[in-house]
């Protein structure tokens, strides 16, 4: 535990919030904002979301976590990252439903797999932040075609803090930002099939796709 967390615990800083991005940690009384954690498959987005949520809990914050009901890869109610560290979450059918679940005493809202929500997630996050809530959103920034994914580009534009995390390229070991799909088919997202994706850097992604196009 850091000195900072220890201090929060001792003083029961329940009404205070912590910014825990790449910026220095800042204490601020009941002011809301939006943080985005984005990147490719296997980049550690959910792990980073869990890390931030856990630190908020250490600071005695009231935390709620949501994910789209379509994400059925693992246990229904858990946000689960690839290294199996779990955290309880509420699956919701639509972004608007998040507003129904958030209480007045909620300090922090975490949203995982945000790319699967519709564009209305932007308004939902804005409403929450305006109410004084710290909103932490994790999601894929690009689909397997390398195109901005769902509400993510808009969210990144309106957020106070954006953190882009990287996987490791499976072909050359450089930082990877593309989620290359190895399975055949043109469905945008194939749920429950993380093994069908490979993180690749720009060079390897372009090379792999141009040789794939030559052979098809
Ligand atoms: Zn590479």
CA of 201 to the centre of ligand 1 (A): 4
The catalytically annotated residue of 113, 160, 193, 195 is 113
Q: Write down the domain spans for the chain.
A: 3-167
In sequence order, what DSSP letters do the residues of 97-142 get, joined into one string? HHHHH--TT--EEEE-SGGGS-TTHHHHHHHHHHTT-EEEEEEESB
Q: Is 77 in the active site? A: no
Residues 120 and 95: their CA atoms lie apart, in Å, by 6
Which residues have C-beta within 8 Å of that of residue 185, sequence separation ≥ 6? none
Residues 186 and 189: their CA atoms lie apart, in Å, by 9
Integer CA distances (angstroms), 95 to 25, 111, 198, in order: 29, 10, 28
Domain 3-167, CATH homologous superfamily name and number: P-loop containing nucleotide triphosphate hydrolases (3.40.50.300)
pLDDT tens digit at each of 216 positions of the chain: 555 556 545 555 544 444 444 443 455 556 899 999 999 999 999 999 999 999 999 999 999 999 999 755 555 556 655 555 567 889 999 999 999 999 889 999 999 999 999 999 999 999 999 999 999 999 999 999 999 999 999 999 999 999 999 999 999 999 999 999 987 766 665 555 567 899 999 999 999 999 877 765
CA of 202 to the centre of ligand 1 (A): 7
Helices (H), the chain: 3-11, 45-58, 97-101, 121-130, 152-158, 202-215
CA of 204 to the centre of ligand 1 (A): 4
The pTM assigned to this predicted structure is 0.80
CA of 146 to the centre of ligand 1 (A): 15
CA of 29 to the centre of ligand 1 (A): 44
């Amino acid at each position: 535990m850091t000195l900072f967390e220890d201090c929060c615990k001792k003083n029961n800083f329940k009404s205070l919030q912590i910014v825990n991005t790449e910026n220095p940690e800042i204490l601020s009384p009941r002011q809301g904002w939006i943080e985005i954690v984005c990147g490719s498959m296997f980049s550690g987005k959910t792990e980073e979301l869990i890390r931030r949520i856990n630190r908020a809990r250490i600071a005695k914050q009231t935390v709620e976590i949501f994910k789209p009901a379509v994400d059925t890869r693992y246990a229904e109610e858990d946000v689960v990252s690839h290294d199996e560290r779990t955290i309880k979450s509420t699956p919701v059918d639509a972004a608007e439903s998040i507003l129904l679940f958030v209480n007045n005493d909620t300090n922090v809202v975490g949203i995982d797999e945000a790319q699967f929500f519709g564009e209305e997630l932007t308004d939902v996050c804005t409403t929450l932040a305006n109410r004084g809530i710290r909103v932490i959103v994790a999601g894929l920034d690009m689909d397997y075609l390398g195109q901005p994914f769902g509400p993510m580009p808009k969210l990144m534009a309106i957020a106070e803090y954006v953190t882009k995390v990287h996987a490791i390229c499976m072909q050359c070991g450089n930082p990877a930002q593309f989620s290359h799909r190895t399975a055949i088919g043109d469905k945008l997202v194939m749920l429950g099939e993380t093994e069908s994706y490979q993180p690749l850097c720009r060079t390897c992604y372009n090379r792999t796709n141009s040789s794939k196009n030559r052979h098809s």
